[in-house]
Structure 1
Amino acid sequence: MNDHNFFASAPQGLLELLADELRALGATAIRLQPAGVYFRGPLALGYRACLWSRLAGRVLLEIAVGPARDADELYTTVQRVDWRQHIPTRGTLAVEFTGANPAIVHTRYGAQRVKDAIVDQFNARGGIRPDVDVRRPDVRVSVHLRKPSGHGIKGMFQETSHDEAVISIDLAGEGLHRRGWREDGVEAPIKENLAAGVLLRAGWPALAAAGAPLVDPMCGSGTLLIEAAHIACDRAPGLSREYFGFQAWRGHQPAIWSELMTEARARAAIGISKVPPIFGFDGDPAAVKAAIANAARAGLGGRIRVERRELAELVAPETGPSGHDRECMGLVATNPPYGERLGVRADMPALYELLGERLRAQFGGWKAAVLAPDLELGRAIGLRAERRHVLYNGAIPVNLLRFEIPREAPPPRAYVRSEGGEALFNRLRKNRKQLGSWAARNGIEAYRVYDSDIPEYAVAVDVYRDWALVQEYAAPAEIDPVRAAARLREALRVIPDALEIPAGQVVCKRRERAKGGGQYGRRDDAGDLLEVREGPGRFLVNLTDYLDTGLFLDHRETRALVGKLARGQRFLNLFAYTGTASVYAGKGGALSTTTVDMSSTYCAWARRNLELNGLRGPQHRVVEAECREFMARELRRYGLIFLDPPTFSNSKKMAGVFDVQRDHVELIRAAVRLLERGGVLIFSTNYRRFRLDEERLADLEIEELSATTIPKDFARSPKIHKVWRIEAGR
């Protein structure tokens, strides 16, 4: 049986493991390359690698190597392959191209020339050509440019003294991390082949064979759990896949594949009873539901136990007698949330510290394998790592830290603040003491306690009762992102101590320009609402799900002004958001309130705020409408109008694009037309570069109130908003 050249790709940090895996499958002539492993063997070996490799991303079958000094030579080399032997005439193909040389610098251009060469060959030989399908083609062709290596197919082409193209058939067709059990369209924080690499590095196969349990305390959608179970029960990772790139390839040998599949099914049937106890926990009920569903699709229904449990509640599971004396009690393997997964929920140092505390307290004698984005977070665990491996989750480098957890827990290492951290601690303590007394006297439970007072710690910190919201300002491009991230993590260590707030009640977000103008886009799905007092009103805030919380703290004095002016008036709140100004107006004695916003979410939120404050009945109406359209058709007149439009909006619910600088004159005039004689319009904007066009509004009586509406806790940011009182001219 003829041997072929193959190439298997894999994430960096796993290539040695992949080489060992391929060697165990029967591969020979193994050579490690920066992005994968070259090997040789019969076609059956390529099939076996697709079916059994837990680490490979793709498996490529080399079919030709030829010169490609420029695009024309690449075209000629590709045409010298008889593509009728590979691609069905009425089938589909896709081309992936990697590498570059001075004449071919764009991969898209290289792929286009390869596709042209293949299609032109079919057209020249009969006029019927395959179509292109980039998602799931019958045959995916891979072409890689490289310097001549002396390896590859010998004698097929003679001229290989310059840059050459390696032409391959992608036997996988799509990434082999797609095992077939995850729901379509749902991505995981960690790819399946990387999860398998974590488990192999941690020595899980030997532990599983000995019956040791595995625990993932932050299991997410269950990737580590399922990979661990499949390793333990000898189930081929490709057994559930419905699609491979060789199935419609004209060189495919179905008999070989059928034999391999029969063997894999038999091994899985035998091995399923060998799954040791595997436990997954997560505080997110949606994650728990997804993990259970994924396990069922992976053929592991009832074999993995998944429960909702917060990390602070983590205890070692009762697994019963092991039947033998083993040194290791089990393995804790986890990928704690970080980056986008963590974004708005909790601070990372506290999370890793809590993980370390639970490991020391509950898992003495166990092994642990923990992924951390950097070593500082790894040190927060408080255990000395016996081994460290740098792996890549896509393009993101992560550290796999392996621990032997002492049977007797050592005391946790104390955190020592840096000089900057100590200065931040002292500033927060001072501000909280001063502003806390002022807030208590004024019945305020939500206020800003820090706003980049120390430039190196570029965050805003708002207190919401016994919670803190930390908003990180995106660092300028010239700031080292690693240093900025380290300062943020230090700030998140300091803030709970300085404010005497539990670390689990510190929420972190990043403030930056929203893409597509989405000011209030949804960020999470926690749905938790917290009630806070502010002067005469009570308001529901959400610290996790959106960039803003539902209560603009800097508008506290503006809302109070609305409340003073509202007595005996019909009040209209335009671009009302969560209706907080309507609450002030209602509590201030308004005859009626009308609250208008085009978001159904915020209209519902406004109704809850009104009801929370006893403002019920038809005199307090909430209207879901685009505000400019509402004003154009509204027949009622109002004694007081509050107009606080967004800076920019291109919402699908409105016609065109709104820009407050460009459109404010028309907007103000539309609002003024709805005023009763002697009525007042309060106009506000948070656009710092805004300039009111007083010339075009010269017939109106306008008074700027910006300076008088900046609250005490925003005194450091006097430009945070601008406010005007506007009346129709007499």
Structure 2
Amino acid sequence: MKFFATCPKGLETLLLDELTGFGAESVKSTATGAEFSGDLALAYFVCLWSRLANRVLLPLAEAPVETAEQLYDAVKSVDWLDHMEASGSLSVAFTGRTESINHTHFGALKVKDAIVDQIREKTGERPSVDRDNPDLKIHAHIYRGRLNLSLDLSGESLHRRGYRTQAGAAPLKENLAAAILMRCQWPQLADERPVVFDPMCGSGTLLIEAAMMSADIAPGIYRERFGFEGWKQHQPDIWSRLKEEAEVRRAKGLEQSSVRFFGGDQDPRMLSIARSNAERAGVEALIELKQASVEQMTCPVADQGGLMVTNPPYGERLGEGSELMFLYRQLGDALKQDFAGWKAAIFTGNPDLCQVVGLKADKSYRLNNGPIDSRLFLYTLYEKAAVTETHEQPSTPAEFSETAQMFANRLKKNLKALKKWQKQNDIECYRLYDADIPEYSVAVDIYKDWVHVQEYAAPASIDKVKAFERLKDVLAVIPSVLEVEPRKVVLKQRKRQSGSDQYEKQASVGRFFEVTEHNCRLRVNLHDYLDTGLFLDHRPVRQKIQKISQGKDFLNLFCYTASASVHAGVGGAKTTTSVDMSATYLQWAMKNLALNGFNDKHHRFIQSDCIVWLKKQRKPEFDLIFMDPPTFSNSKRMQDVLDVQRDHVELIRLAMRLLRKDGVLIFSNNYRKFKLDYDLLSGFDIKDISTSTIDPDFKRNSKIHTCFEIRWP
């Protein structure tokens, strides 16, 4: 008997190999699958065991067709009572077109009419149409005026194994997941690398398919029904024997399986779905799942090689700006740092994103994920000894494009210009570059031996691909010019923040380290939040606070991580009070103060909406107040929306009620268009000190903030 197995585009050669391995004869690959020959038992076996096919079709007729009448006659030439009972049910799937048959619904209707009419003419009975669970499913396909009419032995597409009742927003089809694993040489790879890890496992499809392959579980074993079970020529005894053999293989495979499977995902809901899917697939005992982001990704086993295989998000065809670059970069960094001796596979619908992974692919394969042309990249992560040896080889100067060289030259120029100032003032953290060249719209900040890069969100009119290329230049140039390891370059995208976004974690690495500024020790974190814990542009303001705080009671409003409170304490402040509505940042603030020895009752921390707290205070008990409110905030934790331009008069008046007569309020903000209302604040002595609070590293952007000293007259 001749059969035809269909598969997704890109899987044809794999399907051919699979069918050949099953013992099929006369196997021939086509653009949409593979033709093969064998007995009915083989067709059943393919339905049960193929990990790649969508459908197994039994050809019934082939004929030239141009018109609806020719289609009707060709279908009627088949004796349909050989295939179904007169009282049975059917459904028709129609693809293709001719000049006169230009609608698939019309074509399917003609096929159905021919079958129904023939059976009614012969028996007087009329079969029914059942789209969901028919006895017979017919496929009709017209290509270049030729009809291929087939019986669908599979019924529902074979990629539906039956274990996945829930999935995420963009799940991999099961047969595509299997193809990815086959391209990784799985499960043959299990002999030398008996571990599989997916750090972004979603609903668990890759892990479950890998476990089923390793444990010799037939992919169709959990399906409730196949198309041939309602077919008149179905042979149940053959089918029962094949199912029994599959059950024996499954039990033996699970008992003997020694491979370990690990999955991670930052969404606990997806992990719950993955666990349920694994349980239905019978492999839950083989798979260990835990909640973790890519930033937390570490090797799941020590001293043992494995296969890391994953399908990261890739957004639209051209990506979603550069945001996803960060994810791919972090993935690459983790692989290089912690997965020596492993194989890695990344499947993506945006191949450009893999350029920032920082690994050279051994091979890549084109595969289609539905309508998306996708690529599978395979990597070998060499042993650490080999990596060390490579690093010890003499380095050659990096070659950059002409525009990238412009960026490199500007970094070098800025380094030279700031070197004397940086050395004289013992500056560890400073801004090196701030969109000096329009094509490279990033801010580059140095934090000791780390580099923090923020990409300013490009306008919608900017070509995303070009912006993407520019950012790749940035990532290539910085390590070379600044002589830092690429893993110490942390990349973020700077967007306008609203609500509590500034307080929300961007990641969960928890990688804090200590820096010093004017003899103050401060904790910074370049990974977990949009900001780092230290606003570099306020360095002169903090130094000023440090110089004038001796013996004073200091109030820090909107204190963030309370770096200004640390400076006040180091400067000899009698007390410090730090107010912020974020518990996260107040915890950070407490650790900053404690790091400098200020962890007694003289240093208070108050979690509150600053406006609400200010309204409740009446007593002037502070000699020095620092207030640096956000430009805008509508956080749920606030009772009202804060707009610094609209609300600064009220903020200043409320703060001045707490200031002693000989004290000073330092009011600052980062709104570029800010205008202080001198008329409404005419009762105070106000001095604009913005110019004196801009250090050399921010001179190129003098509007980075405005700053005022406000006193009682």
Fold match (TM-score > 0.5): yes
Distance 2:533 2:147 in 1: 63
Secondary structure of residue in 1 paired with 2:623 = strand
- Aligned residue runs from structure 1 range 369-384, under 5 A: 369-371=345-347, 373-374=351-352, 377=355, 381-382=359-360
Instruction: Give the equivalent residue in structure 2 for 1:502.
Output: 485
Q: Which residue in 1 is equivalent to 2:625?
A: 641
**Cα distance in 2 for residues equivalent to 1:635 and 1:615:** 26
Quote the residue 1:400 is aligned against.
Answer: 376
CA shift for structure 1 position 631: 0.8
Q: Distance in 2 between matches of 1:534 and 1:528?
A: 19
2:568 alignment partner, one of 547, 564, 585: 585
Instruction: Report the CA distance between 1:609 and its aligned residue.
Output: 0.9
Deviation at 1:17, TM superposition (A): 5.7
Aligned to 1:593, the other structure's residue is in SS state strand
SS in 2 for 1:399: strand
Q: How far did 1:613 drift? A: 1.3
Q: Is the 8 A contact 1:628 1:667 kept in 2?
A: yes
Aligned to 2:211: 229
Distance 1:185 1:563, change over 3 A: farther
Letter in 2 for 1:701: D
Aligned pairs (5 A) from 1:254-273: 265-273=247-255
Residue 725 of structure 1: how far off its partner (Å): 1.7
Offset of 1:463 from its aligned partner?
1.6
Distance 1:516 1:379, change over 3 A: closer
- The TM-score with structure 2 as length reference comes to 0.66
Deviation larger for 553-562 or 191-200: 191-200
Cα distance in 2 between the residues matched to 1:393 and 1:636? 66
Deviation of 1:693 after TM superposition, in Å, equals 2.6
2:328–2:356 CA contact under 8 A, matched in 1: no
Measured after TM superposition, the shift of residue 553 of structure 1 is: 0.8
Match of 2:525 in 1: 542
1:478 partner SS: coil
CA distance, structure 2, for counterparts of residue 532 and residue 659 of structure 1 = 32
Structure 2 CA distance for aligned equivalents of residues 681 and 198 of structure 1: 63
Q: For the residues of structure 2 that align with 1:515 and 1:215, how far apart are their CA atoms?
A: 43
Would you say the 8 A contact 2:546–2:571 is kept in 1? yes
The Cα of 1:679 is off from its aligned counterpart by: 2.9
Name the counterpart of 2:659.
Answer: 675
Q: Deviations over 1:134-160 (max 9, x none)?
A: xxxx99xxxxxx999999999xxxxxx
Contact 2:211 2:261 in 1 (8 A): no
Given residue 480 of structure 1, which amino acid in structure 2 is its aligned partner? D
User: How far apart, in 2, do the equivalents of 1:617 and 1:345 lie?
Assistant: 44
**How many residue pairs are counted as aligned between the two chains?**
604
Aligned amino acid, residue 572 of structure 1: L
**Alignment partner of 2:365 out of 383, 389, 393:** 389
2:309 aligned to 317, 328, 334, which one? 334
In structure 1, the partner of 2:179 is 197
Q: CA deviation at 1:379?
A: 10
Matching residue within 654, 677, 680 for 1:693: 677
Q: Is the 8 A contact 2:552 2:623 kept in 1?
A: yes
Q: 1:604 — aligned with what? A: 587
Who is 1:659 aligned against?
643
Number of the residue aligned with 2:109: none
State the Cα distance separating 1:551 from its structure 2 match: 0.7
Map Cα deviations across residues 565-615 of structure 1 (whole Å, 9 max, x no partner): 333332221111111111122222222211111111111111111111112
**TM-score, normalised to structure 1's length?**
0.65
| Partner Cα distance (1:177, 1:490) in 2 | 44
Q: Which amino acid aligns with 1:272?
A: L
Greater displacement, 402-411 / 557-566: 402-411
Map of 1:722 onto structure 2: 706
Identity %: 42
Q: Determine the C-alpha separation between the residues in 1 that align with 2:310 and 2:367.
A: 12
Q: 1:258 to 1:715 in 2, by over 3 A?
A: farther
Does the Cα contact within 8 Å between 1:179 and 1:238 map onto a contact in 2? Answer: no
- Kindly tell me: are residues 369 and 691 of structure 1, through their superposed partners in 2, closer, same or farther at Cα, counting changes over 3 Å? same
| Deviation readout 1:649-700 (Å, 9 max, x if unpaired) | 1211112322222222222222222222233222111111222233332333
Change (3 A) 1:301 1:518: closer
The alpha-carbon distance between structure 1 residues 607 and 279, as it changes in their structure 2 partners (threshold 3 A), is same
Matches within 5 A, 1:27-42: none
Aligned to 1:702: 686
1:636 is displaced (CA, Å) by 3.3
Kept after mapping to 2: 8 A contact 1:224/1:333: no
Is the Cα–Cα contact under 8 Å of residues 311 and 354 in structure 1 kept in the other structure? no
Q: Deviations over 1:447-492 (max 9, x none)?
A: 1222223333322221212222121222232332223222222322
Q: Root-mean-square deviation (CA), in Å? A: 5.9
SS in 2 for 1:496: helix
Work out whether residues 346 and 505 of structure 1, in 8 Å CA contact, stay in contact via their aligned partners in 2: no
SS in 1 for 2:522: strand
Q: Is the 8 A contact 1:574 1:643 kept in 2?
A: yes
Alpha carbons 2:52, 2:175 under 8 Å: kept: yes
Write the distance in 2 (CA, Å) between the matches of 1:290 and 1:498. Answer: 46
**Structure-2 change in CA distance of 1:687 and 1:216 (3 Å):** farther
CA contact (8 A) 1:346 1:506 kept: no
AA partner of residue 566 (structure 2): V
Alignment of 1:319-468 (within 5 A): 332=307, 334-335=309-310, 343=326, 346=329, 362=341, 369-371=345-347, 373-374=351-352, 377=355, 381-382=359-360, 385=362, 388-391=364-367, 398-402=374-378, 416-418=398-400, 419-468=402-451
Q: Is the 8 A contact 2:142 2:148 kept in 1?
A: no
Alignment partners' CA distance in 1, 2:181 and 2:396: 30
Pair 1:489-2:482 in alignment: no
C-alpha change, 1:344 and 1:534, in structure 2 (3 Å) is farther
Instruction: Name which of structure 1's ranges 714-723 and 649-658 shifts more when overlaid on structure 2.
Output: 649-658
State the shift of 1:563 in Å: 2.4
Q: Deviation per CA, 1:66-120: give whole Å up to 9, x if none.
A: xxxxxxxxxxxxxxxxxxx99xxxxxxxxxxxxxxxxxxxxxxxxxxxxxxxxxx
Contact 1:50–1:171 (CA under 8 A) maintained in structure 2: no
Q: Structure 1 residues 194-203 or 703-712, which shifts more?
A: 194-203
Give per-residue Cα distances to partners, 1:205-234, cap 9 Å, x unaligned: 5666xx454555775547645432311223
* 1:684 is aligned to 2:668: yes
Deviation at 1:712, TM superposition (A): 1.7
**How far did 1:521 drift?**
1.7
C-alpha separation in 1, matches of 2:517 and 2:244: 69
Quote the Cα distance in structure 2 between the aligned partners of 1:664 and 1:686: 12
Whole-angstrom CA distance in 2 between matches of 1:595 and 1:561: 18
C-alpha spacing 1:7/1:631, structure 2 compared with 1 (3 Å): farther
Name 2:113's counterpart in structure 1: none
Match of 1:571 in 2: 554
8 A Cα contact 1:344 1:523, kept in partner? no
Q: Does 1:553 align with 2:528?
A: no
Equivalent position SS for 1:571: strand
SS in 1 for 2:250: helix
Structure 1 CA distance for aligned equivalents of residues 604 and 53 of structure 2:
60
CA apart distance, 1:723: 1.2
Question: 3-state DSSP class of the match of 1:655?
Answer: coil
2: CA distance between counterparts of 1:57 and 1:223? Answer: 16
Q: Measure the CA separation in 1 of the matches of 2:679 and 2:14.
A: 73
User: Cα–Cα, structure 1 residues 435 and 672, in superposed 2: closer, same or farther, change >3 Å?
Assistant: same
8 Å CA contact 1:225–1:278 kept in 2: the answer is no
Alignment CA distance shift 1:186-1:576 (3 Å) = farther
Instruction: Report the AA paired with residue 211 of structure 2.
Output: A
C-alpha displacement of 1:291: 13
Q: Partners of 1:547 and 1:688 in 2: how far apart?
A: 19
